[in-house]
Structures are given as structure tokens and as C-alpha cells.
């Protein structure tokens, strides 16, 4: 029973999607509300603030658990490691307001589509629907399955036939109204958030609330100057943040607003076609594409005619794409499954531009609305900006732990103060204020803000280098990157391909190669016909546009696009099918031709085998192994009747029994920056991996040429096969033939090769595989995957989904992954990686945190350099602020011992003139130009960092305690001094008797004392010392002297402190509340500081920052890295049977377990 209750109380929303959430049902209770309201009033709003920070506490306090069906409030929890909560109210949609025709459907269905979730969500007879709105998407309660279902798109269960039949003629007017009310308007509305809302959200941040408490306390103590300085700074900081957020909000609003009001021609069943504003469109509407240029206001399925669209907004590639209508076939499979991976070729996506439409005989092109509003592709993109995935980075979690640790020290200070002041019989008000003062001294409220200064400066420097960033908190993460995935075409190699040559085939033999550019044009024939017509080029504004590969191929024929050939029908290219074909006709002739081009292995499988040359694979390998891109061409004469409709041709039928025409060889050159950048990354021990959609052999060759695979390293090709019939899944390991040594004996070959060391492991082999094998390994050999990934370098023929999956698998091995790509199929991987860098100026780069306007991979080391510098700077500022807080804490605690405190002006100089300026300028030091072969520590709570803080605090305590005790031993010391100015006789003041009370004189004695005058320079100059010591230059940042502003400031601060301490000027003494001390004592104080400086600098630079020393200590204690990839590397190093060569592993049928075949299948040719 309890289990059932829990099942009804909690379900998963968006199961297995990126935005998966757990949803819990709650019911508000009256008496609980009353108690909570009383709590709000009695706590002066503090409880309300707590509930604002913790929405789950709010729900638990006000409501009781119940099933989701009864709930009036739901609590949503993310299923990632952050488990963030949000609270949503359940609202009702009332359909009774619509004048619905009674009994319009005999079975009482409100909408004609019987599969629609709307029918299952209506509460009869009230005609109401329960709904919630989460991250801009509406969900309605489905009574049949008892869970919330997304609304605003057509059901995925529809087949190709049912889409044509149910929606082909449009919806009725009544159904449109119902769907409009339930699904909401078809608009991607991004509100420009009001300034007061942004302001409130920023001010109610826990950090600012703590700061407000601290400032109130300081103001009550008359510490006005510093409080005002902090208030002004906070106002500037909040103002800038709010301005920034407002600008982003406005920019996003402007970006989407224009697409919300597009005029479209919609057809309804009863009223025919009429113009309508796009915000009234609903899923299932049928609209016409009448040839006008149109920015699509929704996702739609094309059911009639063809379209050419520019999908640059989504993919970053401004290449026209041809869309074909959804076939009208009788299949029981859902339409997406029927079209397999390539359902996208029938879908017109929201935000993309329709450039050209081609009507069929039945009239203009028609499309059916598939998704509206935020459910569309563009809506998804906008949502990913509005609700970014939180960045899981230890730095921010550690900063919180750090503040908690400092608070604990502060609490000890509070107890100490209470004890001291109570034992002296001080009034309660004084005890409370002094105790709280010491508590706030230990926790510098600026730590969270300080963490961002390094990032802000790094972002500014990146902007100068033409690298733009929409997620600044990721800059610090870039400092930890140790693996970068690169796309090949357009990223490592030049964007365009150059036509190198064509190898025609006749009578199942390859003919002489025709090189390009050539003085003799290509003679007319099937090969020339294929090159002239088998493409997706379009003429726009008298200019040929389209895929660069198609363009180069077409230019090779020297044809004009209007001469002689009519392309009647196109089966478009798709990455899933790896081929395209066209049906064409020479003008004035009756013969129809079908031409195909695509991946050679695929095209040859559609050809009659007697037309494919015997040495086809060998010839193909010759070119792909040299890094050429090879495409095969094929042809067939179609025997069609006179008045046949070419558009009704079945693809499977048409693309069969073809004649193989030959191979088209294209050259793809490396960009000149590729090699040096990859060399730089390798020197910095950052792994490079290639992830491409190209052929495996070509990819391996490019990887060798680019230096990803060193000369003398073996490449092991992994080929995994799905289970077929009774044969289980298998995985074969085969040595690529590039190993120049004796390939017949791979074992010998292994020993003679040079070894490359990368991040500590020695290896001389690289795995390479294609997307198909990767998929099989994930499915049947998952426990082998980590072993493979640790040394895999080339992944070819990878689909967009596989690229994202690969990045995720690398992350599971504890790699910090960077991804650099330039286009459509990289969007998912760019979002998934810790740092995605898009080499595209298109809006789609919105999908990646970084965009480089310089289209080569130079941006990668640049970003890693800046990331490392920002990370080190953030750590330095946190260390400095911690020490500043603790230095002040120690000084104040010592003075509290005799019921004294630093003067307001004394605090002011420490806080404003020293600390504030140090925090603002410390991070200005630029990144070191050379990448070090190791990364900066990624954790605040790491031994070197904690030791650095602990040791420096110890030096401070020792120095301040010495000063405090030694001054009491001086012959001129008086416990109760009133003489400020320096008179020649002041050095012979007689010592006081121990019985004199230091607090018995006037009010000023809470500050005036020799202890105070000694401790102030010790603590102030100590702050300058630690600022200098912590501003480490090499290996991640330039030396400190290159940061001119900071260096000059430190010198000025030191000069001011020394002037105030050494100037025998009465005005200075009275303003600073100092006492005059003998010059020799001041020299002693300076000597103490000098000793502290030397000890601190030596400890920091020679001991704590000594990489070799730490490696030695790690070796002594047998410490080994806990990263998953490190564990696997250690394991594989000691495994003599790895890597398996010329072996075959068999996957078990039922489980993911694998059986390894003990007998190696050695073959001679290998």
C-alpha cells in the first residue's frame, strides 16, 4: 500500500531526456499555512527569506504529501547530482467557456485525433484540465496513465499514413479553439525582466544578506567610512550584474520576437484557407508554403512539395538544405521510426528560413504543424539559454566549505570574546556587539565576489582575442581541461574540399585518372552527368549556392546550371544513409536517369556487382590512406512510362541494380595552424582526440599528418559487429597497415617503436573505430569501453548523437573535456563538454559556451591558458582574503584581551586602501604564454593550498603575539598612555605598576595603547606581504612585475603604511590614534615583518609550490591519483594481454558480460 502511495506521489517527468525531473505531489493545509504566516511575522520575514532560498522547506512546512492526482502544489527535483528543487502550483484550464457543439463526437472525444493526450486529460463533465508550467513548457494531467504529459506537439505514435489522413485536410475550427486553449499560443516569448525583479533576486542572494548584516553591525559601531565604501562597491557590483542580465534579457527578447508574428495561410476543414497570425497556430494545423520567403514560426512536417531551407540559425552552417515530403506509406511504425535517423529531412524547423518551395501538381507545398512555442527546435535553443545546465565545479563547492570553515573559527572568536568581556563585567550590549564583530572579522564577505574577478578579467582578455563567452563560470573549468575532442572537416582541415581527380570505371575496371584542374574538359557521359546533376545546389539571386563539396564537384564539369538537364526528383543526402540520388532528364529526350553519389562502401552495395571493379577496396584504400576524401558515383537508366509521376517513386526500388561509374577524389588540406597547436597541446600533456563524420581511413591519415598519432605508433582498428541470427556480437582488433616495421609480426613491431609519454602513462598504440563499432561496444561490450577510451584517438563516421555520447563517456572517466567543432552535428557535443568552443559566427553558437571568430583551433590553447590563469587568480584572491580576515581576527583578538580594538581609521586603511584594491587588481596578471605540462590544482581544499594558509596564519600569530608581548617588556611602556606626540623626553616615561587598569581612563582608551600602535603596522604590512607572496607568476601567469597596476599599488600601500608609522607628525598620530614609540622599536617592528616576509616567501615558493617535492612526497606515501582514467592506465600498463592484436572477442547474448576468445586468430596478411 505504502509503495503504491509513493508511486502515486512521485513520478519522473521527461524520462531519459536532458531535462529529466522528479515530481512530487503535495496538498496545502489550512492550519499549517496559519502557523507559517505567524512564523513570517514573528521572524520579521527571516523565515520567508529562508523559504525563498529553500523552496522544498516551504512546501514541506505548508503542505502534506498526497498523490499527484489530488495535489494542488508540486515539488520538482532535478535528477542530476545537484538535486535542485522548484515549487509549482497546479492550475486548471476551463474548456466550458468555449461554445462546443454538443455531442460533436459520438464517443465524447473533444479532438478528432483519438491518440491525442487532450482527450485523456479532460475531466468530465466539468470540462476542466489540470496543468503545470515547467521551464516554459506546459504539461497536462493524463487520467489514463496518471502522470503529467507534455502538450504542444503532435503525438510521436502517429504513422506516416495517419499524419496524412488525420491532418492532411486541416483541423476543424472548434478543434483549433480547443487546442489553442490547451496548448497555449505558438510564441517563444522571452519577457524583458523588470529591473526591480532582477534587483530583488540579486539582493536576496545569501552572500548579500550576510553582507547587509555585517554592515549593519559595523555602522552601529560608528565604522562609517569603510561601510560606505563597501555599500558603494556593492551597489556598483549589483548594478553591473543587473545591467548585464537586463541586456542579455533584451537581446534574447529581440532575437525571438520577430518570429512570433509571421503571417501564414492556414487551411481548416470547413472554412477553407485564410491568412492567420502565426501565434494562433496549433499542432495539427495544415498551412501552405506559397513560394514566399518565410521564417518558419513552428516545427512542421512537410507532406506535399519540396522546400529548400537555410538552417544556419540552428546548425551554424549556412548551407541550403532540401526537404522532401513525408511519404504516404502504409506502415504500422511511428513516422520517426519509419524514417529512421533521417526523419529530419521531412521536418521544417522553427526559426529556419524557407528560401524556395517547389509545388507538385496538387497545388502549393503543404506542411502540418508538428510543435509550437517552446517545444520547437528554436524554443529548445532559447530554453537552453534561459535555463543553463549548472556547472559542476569543485571550486564553487569548496568556496562554500571554506566559508563554513572560517565561520567555525569566527564562532570560536565569538565564544572567546564573550568569556573575556563577561569576566570584566561589561554590559550585555557591548558583549554582543564585540562578539559579533570578531565573528564577522573572520569571514570576509567578499569571498564569493572575489572568485568572479579572475573570471571577469579573463573574459575581457578573451574578447580581445575574438573568443566570446556566454557562460563565464566555465572559464575557470577551462583551466582543468586535459582532453580535447576535435571535429575534422573545417576544424583541423580547411573548410572546402578541392577536386583532385576522378577515376572512371568501365567494364568493371578502373580507367586512367582524370586530374583537376585540367586543360581538357571532362567528356560528356554518365560520369559528367552524375557530377552535373547529383547535388543539392540551388540558384539564389543568380548565384549557385549549397554544400561546398557539391559546388566543387559541379564546377569541375564547367556546366551552367540551366543547360540541358532537368532534375525532376531528389532523394536527399543524410548522414544516416550516407548517400543521395536524383532523377534527371536531358531536355528534349524521353529517357530518365537516376544518379547516386555517397560513401564508396555504401554506393557499391547498391550497384550490380559485375560493374564494381575487383580491386575496388584496394583502390579506395590507396586514396583514403593518403588523406583524400573519396566519393563514389553510380547511374541507372529508369524505365518509366510517359506520364509517370516521378515524385511517387519508391527510394528502395529506384536505388537498386545501379552501374558503378567511378570514384571522385577530393583533397582536404590541413589548416596551417593545426600542427603547431596540436604539438603545443601534446607538450602540455593534453590529449587530442578526433571525432569526425568522415571515412575511418581518411581520419587516421589526417590524425597522422596532424601529429595526433606520432610516427612509429601503432594504430589498432576496432571493428565491432551487431549480433546476426545465431552469431553473437563480436569485436575484432586489427593492426592498421601503416606500421612500417615487420607487420607480419606485430609483437616485434611493438618493441622497436618510440614511446610517447602523455600525463604519466607510456603507450605506443592508438585505437581507431567508426560510429557503428562505437555503438555496438556501448551496447554489448560496455565493460571494455573504458579500456578502449584511455587510448582511443580516432572516431570516424560519428553521428551527432554519438559525438555527445562519446564526450559523456570521457567525462565518466574523470577527464575534463573540451570540444572544438564548427557546425551542425557538433551542437550536442559542444553543450555536453566542460568547455565547448564553436568556430562559427552563427547564432547557433549560442548552443556552445564559447565562440571563436577566428576559424581555427588556435583558440583552444588560448582558452586553456586563460582558464588556468583565471583559476590560479581565483585561488590567490581566496587565499589572500582568508589570510586578511585571519590577520585582522588575530590582531583584534589580542587587543580584546585587554578590552581594546583597532581604531576606525586603522581598519579603514587595512580594508579599503589595502585589501579592496588588492582584490580588484590581483587578477589583472595575464596568462603565461607557454602551457605548462601540468594543470593547476582544481580544488581549494587541497594540501598545498591549505598548508599555505595554515602556515601563513601560524607566522602571523607568532609575529603578532611576539609584538604584543615584547612591547610590554619595553622600559618606556605604559599600560595607560595618553601622550600622542613625540617629545624628546618621552622615551624615559617610567613603567606603570601592574595594578593599573588599562580601561580606567577616558573613552579613547579603547584604542590608544602601545599594543595597538605595534599591532597595526604588523597586521597591515602583513596583508601587503601575503598579497605579494600569493601573486605567483610562472608557470600559469606572467611574473608579478608585468601587472603594473598591482605592483605600483603594492609599493604605494607599503609607502603609506611606513609613512604613517614613521612620520612624527601630530596630526597623523591623532587621526590614526597612534602613540609615539621610540624609533628603535619601530625598526624592530620592521625587522619582524622582514623575517615574516622571508619565511613566508621561502615557504610558498621553495616548499609549497615545488612540484618535484610534492611528487616525491606522493611517491613516499604511495599516493596515486583517484581519477578513473588514471586507474585504468595503471591497470592496463601491468596487463600483458593488452592491447589485443588480431583477436576477436564475442559478446554474450543476454547480458553485457563478454566472453574473450582465448585463441588469437592470427592471419598472415596482418
Instruction: Please give the helix or strand (H or E) that residue 697 lies within, else none.
Output: helix 696-706
Q: Which residues contact 459 (CB under 8 A, 6 or more apart)?
A: 469, 472, 475
The residue with cell 604539438 is 679
Calculate the CA 127 to chain-centre distance: 44
Between CA 286 and CA 291 the distance in angstroms is 16
**Angle at CA of residue 743, ends 738 and 749, nearest 5°:** 90
Task: Calculate the CA dihedral of residues 405, 410, 413, 417 and round it to 10 degrees.
Answer: -160
Between CA 242 and CA 66 the distance in angstroms is 39
Which one of 299, 398, 487, 593 is the catalytic residue?
487
DSSP-based helix, strand, coil % in the chain, nearest 5: 45, 20, 35
Q: Are 659 and 595 in contact (CB under 8 A)?
A: no
Q: Which residues contact 897 (CB under 8 A, 6 or more apart)?
A: 420
The residue with cell 601630530 is 1066
Between CA 1038 and CA 1055 the distance in angstroms is 25
Q: Are 122 and 110 in contact (CB under 8 A)?
A: yes
**Angle at CA of residue 387, ends 385 and 392, nearest 5°:** 105
Closest to 793 measured CA to CA, from 699, 858, 681? 699
Task: Calculate the CA dihedral of residues 301, 304, 308, 313 and round it to 10 degrees.
Answer: -10
Helix (H, G, I), strand (E, B) or coil at 700: helix
Length of the chain: 1166
Cβ neighbours around 254 below 10 Å, total: 11
Between CA 825 and CA 828 the distance in angstroms is 7
Cell of 445: 564577505
Taken in order 241, 244, 250, 256, the sign of the CA dihedral is negative
Annotated active-site residue 487? The verdict is yes
DSSP string, 856-877: STTHHHHHHHHHHHHHHHHHHH
Q: Which residues contact 265 (CB under 8 A, 6 or more apart)?
A: 273, 274, 275, 276, 287, 288, 290
Q: DSSP character for 755?
A: -
**What are the helix and strand counts (H, E) for the chain?**
39, 43
Q: Which residues contact 820 (CB under 8 A, 6 or more apart)?
A: 484, 485, 486, 487, 491, 836, 837, 839, 857, 859, 860
Strand-strand pairing, 543-545 and 514-515: unpaired
The verdict on whether omega for the bond into residue 517 sits within 30 degrees of 0, i.e. cis, is yes
Strand-strand pairing, 147-150 and 272-277: unpaired
Strand-strand pairing, 592-598 and 629-638: antiparallel
Helix (H, G, I), strand (E, B) or coil at 150: strand
Long-range pairs of 755-758 with CB within 8 A, sequence gap ≥ 24: 756/682, 756/710, 756/713, 758/682, 758/685, 758/687
Task: Calculate the CA dihedral of residues 288, 294, 298, 302 and round it to 10 degrees.
Answer: 40
Q: Which residues are catalytic?
A: 487
Amino acid at each position: 500500500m505504502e509503495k503504491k502511495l509513493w508511486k502515486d506521489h512521485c513520478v519522473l517527468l521527461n524520462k531519459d531526456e536532458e531535462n529529466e525531473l522528479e515530481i512530487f505531489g503535495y496538498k496545502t493545509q489550512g492550519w499549517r499555512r496559519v502557523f507559517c504566516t505567524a512564523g513570517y511575522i514573528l521572524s520579521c520575514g527571516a523565515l520567508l527569506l529562508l523559504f525563498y532560498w529553500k523552496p522544498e522547506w516551504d512546501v514541506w512546512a505548508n503542505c502534506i504529501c498526497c498523490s499527484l492526482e489530488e495535489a494542488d502544489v508540486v515539488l520538482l527535483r532535478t535528477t542530476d547530482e545537484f538535486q535542485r528543487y522548484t515549487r509549482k502550483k497546479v492550475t486548471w484550464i476551463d474548456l466550458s467557456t468555449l461554445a462546443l457543439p454538443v455531442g460533436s463526437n459520438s464517443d465524447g472525444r473533444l479532438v478528432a485525433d483519438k491518440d491525442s493526450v487532450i482527450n485523456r486529460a479532460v475531466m468530465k463533465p466539468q470540462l476542466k484540465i489540470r496543468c503545470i508550467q515547467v521551464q516554459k513548457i506546459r504539461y497536462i494531467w493524463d487520467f489514463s496513465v496518471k502522470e503529467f504529459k507534455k502538450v504542444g506537439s503532435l503525438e510521436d505514435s502517429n504513422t506516416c499514413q495517419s499524419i496524412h489522413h488525420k491532418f492532411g485536410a486541416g483541423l476543424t475550427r472548434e478543434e483549433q479553439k480547443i487546442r489553442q486553449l490547451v496548448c497555449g499560443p505558438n510564441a517563444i516569448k522571452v519577457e524583458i525582466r523588470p529591473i526591480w525583479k532582477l534587483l530583488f533576486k540579486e539582493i536576496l542572494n545569501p552572500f548579500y544578506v550576510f553582507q547587509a548584516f555585517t554592515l549593519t553591525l559595523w555602522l552601529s559601531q560608528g565604522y562609517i567610512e569603510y561601510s560606505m565604501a563597501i555599500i558603494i562597491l556593492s551597489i556598483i557590483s549589483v548594478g553591473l550584474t543587473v545591467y548585464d542580465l537586463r541586456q542579455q534579457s533584451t537581446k534574447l527578447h529581440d532575437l525571438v520576437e520577430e518570429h512570433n508574428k509571421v503571417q501564414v495561410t492556414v487551411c481548416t476543414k470547413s472554412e477553407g484557407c485564410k491568412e492567420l497570425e502565426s501565434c494562433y497556430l496549433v499542432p495539427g494545423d495544415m498551412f501552405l508554403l506559397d513560394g514566399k520567403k518565410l521564417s518558419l514560426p513552428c516545427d512542421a512536417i512537410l507532406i506535399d512539395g519540396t522546400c529548400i531551407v537555410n538552417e544556419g540559425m540552428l546548425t551554424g552552417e549556412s548551407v541550403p538544405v532540401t526537404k522532401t515530403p513525408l511519404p504516404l506509406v502504409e506502415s504500422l511504425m511511428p513516422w520517426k521510426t519509419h524514417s529512421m535517423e533521417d526523419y529530419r529531412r521531412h521536418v521544417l524547423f522553427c526559426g529556419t528560413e524557407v528560401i524556395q518551395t517547389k509545388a507538385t501538381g496538387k497545388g502549393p507545398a503543404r506542411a502540418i504543424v508538428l510543435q509550437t512555442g517552446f517545444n520547437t527546435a528554436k524554443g529548445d535553443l532559447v530554453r537552453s539559454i534561459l535555463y543553463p545546465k549548472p556547472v559542476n565545479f569543485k571550486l564553487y563547492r569548496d568556496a562554500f566549505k571554506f566559508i563554513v570553515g572560517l565561520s567555525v573559527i569566527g564562532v570560536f572568536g565569538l565564544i572567546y570574546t564573550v568569556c573575556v568581556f563577561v569576566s570584566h563585567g561589561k554590559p550585555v550590549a557591548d558583549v554582543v556587539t564585540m562578539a559579533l564583530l570578531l565573528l564577522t572579522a573572520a569571514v570576509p564577505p567578499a569571498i564569493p565576489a572575489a572568485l568572479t574577478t579572475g573570471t571577469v578579467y579573463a573574459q575581457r582578455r578573451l574578447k580581445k582575442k575574438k573568443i566570446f563567452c556566454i557562460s563565464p563560470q566555465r572559464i575557470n573549468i577551462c583551466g582543468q581541461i586535459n582532453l580535447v575532442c576535435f571535429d575534422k572537416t573545417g576544424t583541423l582541415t580547411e573548410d572546402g574540399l578541392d577536386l583532385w581527380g576522378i577515376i572512371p570505371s568501365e567494364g568493371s575496371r578502373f580507367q586512367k585518372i582524370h586530374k583537376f584542374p585540367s586543360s581538357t574538359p571532362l567528356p560528356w557521359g554518365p560520369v559528367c552527368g552524375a557530377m552535373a546533376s547529383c547535388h543539392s545546389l540551388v540558384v539564389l539571386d543568380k548565384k549557385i549556392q549549397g554544400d561546398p563539396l557539391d559546388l566543387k564537384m559541379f564546377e569541375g564539369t564547367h556546366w551552367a546550371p540551366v543547360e540541358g538537364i532537368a532534375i525532376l526528383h531528389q532523394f536527399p543526402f543524410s548522414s544516416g544513409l550516407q548517400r543521395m540520388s536524383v532523377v534527371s532528364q536531358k531536355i528534349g529526350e524521353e529517357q530518365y536517369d537516376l544518379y547516386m553519389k555517397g560513401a564508396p562502401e555504401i554506393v557499391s552495395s547498391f550497384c550490380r556487382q559485375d560493374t564494381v571493379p575487383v580491386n575496388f577496396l584496394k583502390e579506395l584504400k590507396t586514396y583514403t590512406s593518403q588523406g583524400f576524401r573519396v566519393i563514389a558515383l553510380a547511374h541507372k537508366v529508369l524505365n518509366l512510362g510517359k506520364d509517370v509521376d516521378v515524385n511517387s517513386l519508391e527510394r528502395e526500388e529506384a536505388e537498386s541494380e545501379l552501374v558503378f561509374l567511378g570514384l571522385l577524389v577530393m583533397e582536404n588540406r590541413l589548416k596551417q595552424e593545426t600542427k603547431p597547436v596540436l604539438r603545443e597541446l601534446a607538450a602540455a600533456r593534453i590529449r587530442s582526440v578526433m571525432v569526425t563524420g568522415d571515412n575511418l581511413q581518411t581520419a587516421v591519415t589526417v590524425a597522422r599528418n596532424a601529429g595526433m598519432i606520432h610516427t612509429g605508433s601503432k594504430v589498432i582498428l576496432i571493428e565491432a559487429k551487431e549480433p546476426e541470427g545465431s552469431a553473437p556480437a563480436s569485436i575484432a582488433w586489427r593492426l592498421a597497415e601503416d606500421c612500417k616495421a615487420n607487420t607480419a609480426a606485430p609483437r616485434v613491431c611493438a618493441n622497436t617503436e618510440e614511446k610517447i609519454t602523455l600525463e604519466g602513462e607510456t603507450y605506443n598504440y592508438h585505437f581507431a573505430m567508426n560510429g557503428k563499432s562505437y555503438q555496438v561496444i556501448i551496447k554489448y561490450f560496455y565493460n571494455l569501453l573504458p579500456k578502449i577510451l584511455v587510448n582511443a584517438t580516432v572516431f570516424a563516421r560519428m553521428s551527432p548523437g554519438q559525438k555527445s555520447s562519446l564526450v559523456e563517456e570521457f567525462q565518466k572517466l574523470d577527464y575534463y573535456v573540451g570540444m572544438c567543432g564548427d557546425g551542425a552535428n557538433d551542437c550536442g557535443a559542444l553543450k555536453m563538454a566542460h568547455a565547448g568552443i564553436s568556430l562559427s559566427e552563427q547564432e547557433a553558437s549560442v548552443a556552445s559556451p564559447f565562440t571563436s571568430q577566428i576559424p581555427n583551433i588556435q583558440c583552444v590553447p588560448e582558452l586553456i591558458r586563460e582558464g588556468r590563469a583565471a583559476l590560479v587568480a581565483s585561488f590567490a584572491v581566496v587565499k589572500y582574503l582568508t589570510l586578511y580576515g585571519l590577520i585582522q581576527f588575530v590582531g583584534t583578538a589580542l587587543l580584546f584581551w585587554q578590552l581594546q580594538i583597532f581604531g576606525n581609521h586603522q581598519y579603514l586603511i587595512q580594508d579599503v586602501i589595502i585589501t579592496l584594491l588588492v582584490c580588484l587588481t590581483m587578477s589583472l596578471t595575464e596568462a603565461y604564454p607557454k602551457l605548462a605540462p601540468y594543470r593547476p590544482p582544481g580544488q581549494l581544499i587541497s594540501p598545498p593550498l591549505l598548508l599555505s594558509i595554515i602556515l601563513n596564519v601560524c607566522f602571523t600569530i607568532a609575529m603578532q603575539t611576539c609584538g604584543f608581548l615584547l612591547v610590554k617588556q619595553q622600559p618606556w611602556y605604559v599600560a595607560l598612555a595618553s601622550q600622542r606626540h613625540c617629545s624628546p623626553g618621552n622615551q624615559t616615561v617610567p613603567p606603570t605598576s601592574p595594578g593599573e587598569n588599562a580601561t580606567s581612563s577616558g573613552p579613547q582608551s579603547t584604542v590608544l595603547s602601545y599594543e595597538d600602535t605595534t599591532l597595526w603596522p604588523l597586521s597591515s604590512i602583513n596583508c601587503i606581504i601575503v598579497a605579494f607572496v600569493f601573486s605567483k607568476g610562472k608557470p600559469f601567469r606572467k611574473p608579478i612585475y608585468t601587472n603594473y597596476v598591482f605592483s605600483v599599488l603594492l609599493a604605494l600601500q607599503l609607502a603609506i603604511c611606513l609613512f604613517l608609522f614613521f612620520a612624527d607628525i601630530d596630526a597623523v598620530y591623532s587621526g590614526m590614534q597612534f602613540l609615539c614609540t621610540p624609533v628603535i622599536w619601530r625598526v624592530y617592528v620592521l625587522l619582524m615583518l622582514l623575517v615574516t616576509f622571508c619565511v613566508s616567501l621561502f615557504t610558498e615558493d621553495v616548499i609549497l609550490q615545488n612540484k618535484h617535492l610534492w611528487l616525491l612526497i606522493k611517491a613516499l606515501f604511495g599516493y596515486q591519483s583517484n581519477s578513473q582514467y588514471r586507474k585504468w592506465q595503471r591497470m592496463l600498463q601491468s596487463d600483458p594481454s593488452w592491447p589485443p592484436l588480431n583477436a576477436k572477442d564475442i559478446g554474450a547474448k543476454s547480458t553485457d558480460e563478454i566472453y574473450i576468445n582465448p585463441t588469437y586468430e592470427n592471419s598472415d596478411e596482418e
